[in-house]
């Protein structure tokens, strides 16, 4: 009963929440059981690939290998489990959900290139190894959206559609007021102490789901341990504009769905206007009362909007 009661809430985490105490062994073990329970409900198995660089890329995949492949790319500070709950709403597709290099259970080399094109190249290597690179649907949230754009621009003939969820990388729009004074030393997206996690959780989501403190503490320690690398990655992200590359998506007329939470405090909702200008064929959906991570805050609506988009492609 504990897993059923807590499981649905736990995996909603953007991997950005914390507790005021260091988690004990019981909390860690319980959290791991909840994670496994949630993955099992979504028919997800965790696998790994050793890249040509020698780095390990961990990913989750569902059992629907007959479905059309859909690559789901998490955002900054996140991991593959950001999509675990929505995965069960997308069961008709063959889901590939990686931990990007630098996050989750994948390798975390401090000197690697973490910009969008480098990450896209690694993801292409993963899909090639699985024999899924030739006809792939690509989606990403936040940083994962910028990587999705880079992927489609680099392999436009292989991408069948694009799903951008509060995408990063369109930096000419500017930053929201909530981040105007942010620096790499003082940034709500980077965590220096456990109390920062509570603020982060409310900052990135307008409708944050409940997560027990004992579970928050486990995720908090992971983010704190990765803070130095995340600072480096964030610096690379902020200097990585994908607007020119997005023009390739328009050139190849790749079907694109753009989804944005109207209460996003991380990336300006006005970004959708710029994306529509660069990618005229894109369909735009804005979600009232939703923040930066719609696939966590509004699981069913986000999934249903995407499935409707995919159905329309068949007509």
Query: Annotated catalytic sites, by residue?
Result: 74, 142
Distances (CA, A) of 300 to 55, 139, 261, 293: 35, 16, 14, 13
Q: Which residues contact 180 (CB under 8 A, 6 or more apart)?
A: none
73 contacts 87 by C-beta, under 8 angstroms? no
**Which secondary structure element, helix H or strand E, spans residue 284, and what is its range?**
strand 283-287
Distances (CA, A) of 86 to 42, 105, 118, 205: 8, 20, 27, 16
57 contacts 48 by C-beta, under 8 angstroms? yes
CA neighbor of 29 nearest in space, from 212, 218, 211, 221: 218
Query: For residue 285, what is the DSSP state?
Result: E
Distances (CA, A) of 312 to 15, 33, 38, 71, 315: 33, 39, 30, 19, 6
């Amino acid at each position: 009963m504990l897993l059923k009661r807590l499981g649905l809430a736990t995996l909603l985490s953007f991997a950005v929440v914390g507790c005021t105490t260091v988690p004990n062994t019981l909390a860690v073990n319980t959290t791991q059981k909840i994670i496994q329970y949630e993955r099992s409900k979504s028919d997800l198995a965790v696998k790994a690939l050793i890249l040509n660089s020698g780095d390990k890329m961990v990913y989750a995949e569902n059992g629907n290998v007959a479905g059309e492949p859909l690559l789901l790319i998490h955002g900054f500070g996140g991991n593959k489990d950001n999509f675990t709950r929505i995965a069960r709403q997308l069961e008709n597709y063959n889901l590939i959900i990686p931990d990007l290099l630098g996050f989750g259970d994948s390798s975390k080399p401090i000197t690697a290139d973490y910009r969008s094109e480098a990450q896209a190249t690694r993801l292409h290597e993963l899909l090639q190894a699985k024999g899924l690179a030739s006809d792939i649907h690509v989606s990403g949230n936040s940083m994962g959206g910028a990587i999705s754009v880079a992927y489609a621009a680099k392999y436009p003939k292989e991408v069948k559609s694009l799903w951008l969820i509060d995408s990063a990388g369109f930096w000419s729009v500017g930053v929201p007021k909530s981040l105007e004074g942010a620096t790499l030393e003082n940034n709500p997206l980077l965590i220096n102490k456990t109390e920062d996690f509570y603020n982060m959780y409310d900052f990135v989501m307008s409708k944050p789901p409940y997560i027990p403190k004992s579970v928050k503490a486990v995720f908090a320690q992971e983010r704190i341990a990765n803070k130095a690398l995340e600072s480096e990655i964030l610096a690379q992200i902020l200097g990585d504009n994908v607007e020119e590359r997005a023009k390739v998506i328009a050139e190849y007329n790749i079907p694109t769905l753009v989804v944005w939470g109207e209460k996003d405090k991380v990336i300006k909702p006005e970004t959708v206007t710029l994306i529509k200008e660069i990618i005229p064929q894109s369909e735009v959906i804005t979600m009232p009362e939703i923040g930066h991570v719609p696939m966590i805050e509004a699981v069913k609506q986000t999934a249903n909007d995407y499935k409707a988009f995919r159905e329309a492609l068949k007509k």
